[in-house]
Amino acid sequence: MRMLELFAGMPFHAFFGIALMMASTPMVETFKNPPASLGIDALSDQNAAGGIAWAFSEIPSVLVLLALLFQWYGSEQRQARRKDRAADRDGDKELEAYNAYLASLNARGR
């Protein structure tokens, strides 16, 4: 579920960033003509902002994905150890029940 939530937001950031980078005019009229004394080009700033928005949708998402994968791996390892301890305690009754079920299916199929 966490990975689904992570992947749900990624395309929106990426498309927004690409749209900002490909725009031929500044998106917001308020910042279209900054004072010349500042030496700012509104369109190049907007393109840089688009690149940042795109990068922040990809790079941190990959890092979060790696963290989620490590958490998932650790959880699976703990669950496997727990099941192994339970099997050692009860003589692996779950495996015996499954094998008996398969044997009954085999007997019915003949």
50-59 pLDDT tens trace: 888 888 777 7
Q: How many Cα atoms within 13 Å fall on the side-chain side of residue 31?
A: 13
pTM here? 0.54
1-30 pLDDT tens trace: 777 877 787 788 788 888 888 888 888 777
Among 27-41, 51-65, 71-85, which range has the highest average pLDDT?
71-85
The residue with greater pLDDT, 73 or 42, is: 73
**What letter would DSSP give residue 28?**
-
